Structure 1
Amino acid sequence: MKKSRILLSTALIMVLSASSVYAHPGRTDSNGGHTCRTNCTERWGLEYGEYHYHNGGSSSSNSSSTSKSSNSSSSVKKSGQSAKEIATQKAKKAQQEKEAAVKKAKQIKQAEKDGYADGLKDGYNGISNIGISKYQGAYNKGYKEGFAKGKLKLTNEKNKAYRAGYSAAQNGKSSVVPSIYQTNKALSDSYLQGFERFVIDVEKQKYYQMGYNDSFNMEKYIKPDFDNANHIRWYKEGFDAGKKKQAA
């Protein structure tokens, strides 16, 4: 009996000693194992991140499944990304940022181009109407440049229309605005202004000369009996010029 107790105690101590090798800290999962995270190599003889089973992978209920799991656990699984993966992600991010920058630059350039086109049109039509854009700064820059260019173009064409109207009146043509100037009201108005200017210049010269001539026949200025105030003013200007000429 005493010998049997000694053998039983010896067997129990061996079982407990063997179990203590695998009984390191860490909860096991549903498969009966887990990944080592603490004192793996120094204390337990495992690699960091190694998945293993506390019972050595044996199972009385399903030996084939446990054996398969034990074999798969023999491969070392380490946490974190590899240097190659990190480099790949950085390269991908850099490419995305580059593409985004190129896209934004194109959008800004297009906004400036749109602003110029709108400004050119508004400047030529004599109106100012800055629109709203996502890239307002670029749009405004283009708009201002286009507006100045359109305004200058309008001014040059207005002067041309004015001279054309003046010449038409001078050559005895009618005051009907040519079709080339009817596309823009400002040009049409300039043509008529030129036409009327010639008529005014002719009348002014007529009454101015009349007053100038009378100054040599009259001692003092006498207001003429004209209905038009401009005619009276031009007559007096001519009269005074004549008197000044005589006194010199």
Structure 2
Amino acid sequence: MASDTLPRRRSMTDAFLVSRNPEVANVVRGDLISLLEGMRQRNAHLDDFARGLPKLTESDLSSLGQSDSTCPICLTPLLAILAEEETALAMDSPAHPIEELGVTRLVRTCGHLFCRKDIRGWLYQGNATCPTCRTPFIAPQAGDEQRARQESELPGAGEASFDAYLNNEVTRAFEAFFPLPGAPTSAVPRSDGPASSEEDFEQLEEAQFEYDHDRSEFSGMYS
């Protein structure tokens, strides 16, 4: 039974595997271009959502029955936020940008109320859901779902992705060093035998002796 799990974080081993296989560059380039284009479209949608946030008045709060409510993020009473907005607009240089003053409501989605400064900061930090109920600000496009469905139906589409390539490489390396029972012995790297191990040990001892010998020449310099 398949389960949704977090994607594995990439490491320098993955980068080394890519550097040894230049053919995967086209796949990586395509994935990066798709990622950047998706981020650009997502940021554009968030900017449009932020510009469409309305400014509520005290009468709006009364009609909604929210006169005694507070901002769920900063816990400041909404009426106090409106009073702060009125004072700031009367000043020549407000402490905050005008578009961040006052109270707003997520009219396009769930309808929760926030102070404009906090919800705009939440948006521009890259969050795309309501901080109270996690309702998405951006609805998934029907074209994106159809395109993903069509790509998944293509023959060999699963092996064309960069993640699938890396997973296959890691699996092959793991099976080479830790073969399953009944696996062909040719897939397991072997040494030349005991003689090879003895030669490696002698070379290691010789290198260690040379290292200690070199250090002994300077043992009394700082005493």
Which protein, 1 or 2, shows the higher relative CO under an 8 Å CA cutoff with sep ≥ 6?
A: 2
Higher relative helix content: 1
State the TM-score, normalizing by the size of structure 1: 0.22
